[in-house]
Structure 1
């Protein structure tokens, strides 16, 4: 009778464990499409055997049935690490490609090529003006096409700036996401530890969630992680602790007061008192796969965005004003897709505006012999040496060496200064001096008018008794973009928009059309007077500069695209290999389901037979 009840126990264990196996298989099938789910495999094992006797040969024993020895939760740690490192590198190049593609899209303006067309129309207007500067229709056409060209230029530059700010917003959101994922992993660590502390159950779903969080985290930067015997995973992010057994070390955001650009740093290792911040990313290091410095979308976006919105000046000059070398360019602004594109584009617009303005309103300055000459080589102004504010400079003077003064009694410094070439400058229909420049800075006029005075403060006059005036050129103020010839800092001269015939086109005698001016303007378009960057010093024209700028972007974009395609393929291949280990196979699980159902049915019939046998035995003993 005892053996009969023991057989009933064996049947019940089989029934119970097959039911659990069916539940596990059903869970796998239910999560076939669930991201991050790892298949669970049931392993059966025998229960303990009980011996009837201690015979030396063939001891009699009986078993207590079966049990589930383990539910295998299989992951390949090497494939996981390979997948996450590949994910980080793929995200870096994919993000870099997106930035290059967006910039190219803005320059081509959604393939409509409005800017390129505006550039060609501007050239055609000058071509017509150059052949007949006195034609009022040609004059107005130059002004209208210049207005359209500047409008398109501003639109492109504004679009690039907007995208730069958009990248900044994405960086901020991704920093928040990294902190969120770190906190999530930290919380899962302790949930897993609580469940697994008794050594009975494995927190499989929680481990799946934690592994998925690590997968997501790897796309934002280089990560290193390890699990201790208690099931706690500690993570390092960009060579700095992100979380451990004790706490999460969140990233903080430094916001630039001028640009509002955000840069992540580690507050726990920064000296907040002195402002010495421990930045998360070292953007000065060489980007190299061998050194693992090309990982993570945040770093790629920080590089693409840069740390400022540059002008043409920043393309060839360092922050201290020194001339930028090719090496400094490649290590600095050349690394940033947005900064480089903004600076190169502004350089094109700046050069075009200043060369055109300098032809309409030509300047002169002190030559090596200390004299200012006009364009024809005639003496325009004399200078002498004088001490101004403790510095020896040259100041304007008459032919007898008597210094000139302004209305405030100050000598007029000529060293490094420019003055309107009043003898040869072309005139508009109104004949006024200074003539109208085409592109006008929003923050200042082109010239400051000065009436020459002698030491006694009396106005100096010419032979006809007219006061002699000069026009001193107002240099660009690098601290005020409205006083620079930048894309955003200029507008078309409003006076010319009202009266187009005041565009300079006559010679200084106001009798002859200045055909030389037309020829010079045409030559400005065909003269190779520009460099693309300190790295690319091949001389080029306006149009060639723009073409090279677009080609440079396309080349960089192709490099990033090729790397992205290669790494995406590697990532997919690695993930496929991971899925072979952790993925759920519908066919395999359905096969297991049938197997466990048959086992369950067999155990059920076995129990029925044993129950009937016991019932028969009990009834026969009455």
Structure 2
């Protein structure tokens, strides 16, 4: 009788554990499309068994027990696939962001929807050609003024749009840093929740683990991370080589805001001191003012071989650049500051092109020479022997592109002679530079076009200006950057800007597509392990339902048998 009643426990365990397995399967089915959900698997084990007789090996062991139990509900993941996916997801974020910013810059240049900027250069050249045919014709002179204003307006518009885009990227940087800090806080809180739930060694914090793993996956898209879980279920995370989620807190990323540009630089407040500034990214150039202030001269140095081309946040910093790009960044000594910074480099290229056109035309209308005074001082002065004059015949002639609030010449007496000394550009005075934002078409010429230097000093029309303008415009003496090996003229320089953008865009797109495919392939492998298959779960549901029915029938048989025995007694 005792053995018969004990059989009820066997059937009962079958009912109970089949029901638990059905509940787990139903939970899997309910979350088949839930992002970040990890499949749960029921694992069974024997309950306590008593060995009554253990004869020779050829005979079955005589045992009795209490049936089956659920030993574990497994939370199935592959840590190696997780690590691979997170690294490739970070690379995908890096190159996808670079491709996105490059494409947007191409749109700003309007090469995708038209060719307005290039047309402004071509139309300016056509205006100079017409002017060369009859430089004293007021219609031709007026055309020069109009097309010069259009060219400058277009340059300033493109430059301003690029600045606005930098500001937009800057806000994205702040948003991503805020999100990273938020993720860190959530991971820290989930760590504590998981430890609390699993401390008894009975329950696995499935939902909390799913949420934490999903957050770590997202975090890996922003920056390079390393995640390690200890035996208590606590995950510690390093971000760009520094402790981010620690045992007792999450170390937030701070932001340094630059005056003037408002550009943000991520840094680690918890390890930054007055003596040592610790930026989050040691391989991305800092703004010049910040670098000088903190004594840090790091440059941008990113490559796949260095395993640091990871994270959309870094890509945003690289794309935005450390400051506004100006023409002086195109020099060999400064080019490394803008290289690969797509927005900043394009700004520098546009600024460089505009400056060279302005300087070339001004040097034709107002040529300079040098004069060494008796005391040995060398001056840059107006070449009065070669310069043209306006209809009024006065000196000095008016330059076409004028610095706002800054005259081209100052009249001085040197060695008893009158000279028009060139007011050179100086680092101490920003308004002295011929650069976008400082320069406009000479307002005196705009008000009276006949003042344009079109006459020889004897009053005759200076038709020689046409040859000078043609030579200056067609001269191939520009490199797009210090690495360029072929010189070009003004229009060719613009073509190279667009070609350079297109080449970079193609490279970034190819890399983005490759990384996207790689990340997707690894994610597919992960999903084969941790993902929910509705077909497989339906199969399991039928299996566990059949087991439940079998246990139910088993109990019915034992019950009927027991009833019969009792009646016979």
TM-score (norm 2): 0.91
Counterpart secondary structure, 2:88: helix
Give the match for residue 547 of structure 1: 495
Give the match for residue 492 of structure 1: 441
Give the match for residue 383 of structure 2: 421
Counterpart secondary structure, 1:32: coil
| Distance (whole Å) between structure 2 residues aligned to residue 446 and residue 203 of structure 1 | 75
Give 1:479 deviation, angstroms.
4.4
1:353-432 maps to which residues of 2 (within 5 A)?
A: 353-366=358-371, 370=372, 383-385=373-375, 393-394=376-377, 415=378, 417-432=379-394
Q: Does 1:532 align with 2:532?
A: no
Structure with the higher fraction of residues in helix conformation: 2
Give the match for residue 28 of structure 2: 28
Question: 1:103-152, CA deviations, whole angstroms, 9 ceiling, x for partnerless residues?
Answer: 22222354211101111111111111111112211111111111111111
| Distance (whole Å) between structure 2 residues aligned to residue 436 and residue 256 of structure 1 | 39
Counterpart secondary structure, 2:34: coil
| Distance (whole Å) between structure 2 residues aligned to residue 315 and residue 54 of structure 1 | 89
Give 1:469 deviation, angstroms.
5.1
Counterpart secondary structure, 1:335: coil
Give the match for residue 149 of structure 1: 151
Verify the 8 A CA contact 1:17 1:68 in the aligned structure 2: yes
Verify the 8 A CA contact 1:424 1:508 in the aligned structure 2: no
Question: 1:84-108, CA deviations, whole angstroms, 9 ceiling, x for partnerless residues?
Answer: 1111122222222222222222223
One of 429, 433, 456 as aligned partner of 1:507: 456
Give the match for residue 433 of structure 1: 395
Question: 1:423-449, CA deviations, whole angstroms, 9 ceiling, x for partnerless residues?
Answer: 432122233332222212124122224
Aligned length, in residue pairs: 553
Give the match for residue 600 of structure 1: 548
Give the match for residue 161 of structure 1: 163
One of 410, 428, 442 as aligned partner of 1:448: 410
Give 1:26 deviation, angstroms.
1.0
1:78-97 maps to which residues of 2 (within 5 A)?
A: 78-97=80-99
| Distance (whole Å) between structure 1 residues aligned to residue 368 and residue 502 of structure 2 | 39
Q: Does 1:472 align with 2:421?
A: yes
Give the match for residue 16 of structure 2: 16
Counterpart secondary structure, 1:486: coil
Counterpart secondary structure, 1:268: helix
Give the match for residue 589 of structure 1: 537
Verify the 8 A CA contact 1:444 1:482 in the aligned structure 2: yes
One of 239, 242, 245 as aligned partner of 1:243: 245
| Distance (whole Å) between structure 1 residues aligned to residue 66 and residue 15 of structure 2 | 13
Structure label with greater radius of gyration: 1
Verify the 8 A CA contact 2:283 2:301 in the aligned structure 1: no
Name the CA shift for 1:420/1:285 in 2 (closer, same or farther; >3 Å).
closer
TM-score (norm 1): 0.84
Q: Aligned Cα RMSD in Å?
A: 2.3
Provide structure 2 residue ranges, at least 5 long, that are not aligned to the other structure.
285-298
Verify the 8 A CA contact 2:281 2:314 in the aligned structure 1: no
Give the match for residue 290 of structure 2: none
Name the CA shift for 1:62/1:118 in 2 (closer, same or farther; >3 Å).
same
| Distance (whole Å) between structure 2 residues aligned to residue 605 and residue 47 of structure 1 | 20
Counterpart secondary structure, 2:231: coil
Counterpart secondary structure, 1:365: strand
| Distance (whole Å) between structure 1 residues aligned to residue 518 and residue 53 of structure 2 | 62
| Distance (whole Å) between structure 2 residues aligned to residue 194 and residue 275 of structure 1 | 38
Give 1:59 deviation, angstroms.
6.1
Verify the 8 A CA contact 2:173 2:264 in the aligned structure 1: yes
| Distance (whole Å) between structure 2 residues aligned to residue 603 and residue 238 of structure 1 | 56
| Distance (whole Å) between structure 2 residues aligned to residue 285 and residue 150 of structure 1 | 32
Question: 1:493-515, CA deviations, whole angstroms, 9 ceiling, x for partnerless residues?
Answer: 222222222222111122x1110
Q: Does 1:569 align with 2:517?
A: yes
One of 332, 342, 355 as aligned partner of 2:347: 342
Name the CA shift for 1:50/1:123 in 2 (closer, same or farther; >3 Å).
same
Question: 1:402-428, CA deviations, whole angstroms, 9 ceiling, x for partnerless residues?
Answer: xxxxxxxxxxxxx2x322233432122
> Which stretch of the first structure deviates more once superposed, 102-111 or 261-270?
102-111
One of 257, 265, 270 as aligned partner of 1:268: 270
Give the match for residue 380 of structure 1: none
1:108-147 maps to which residues of 2 (within 5 A)?
A: 108=110, 110-147=112-149
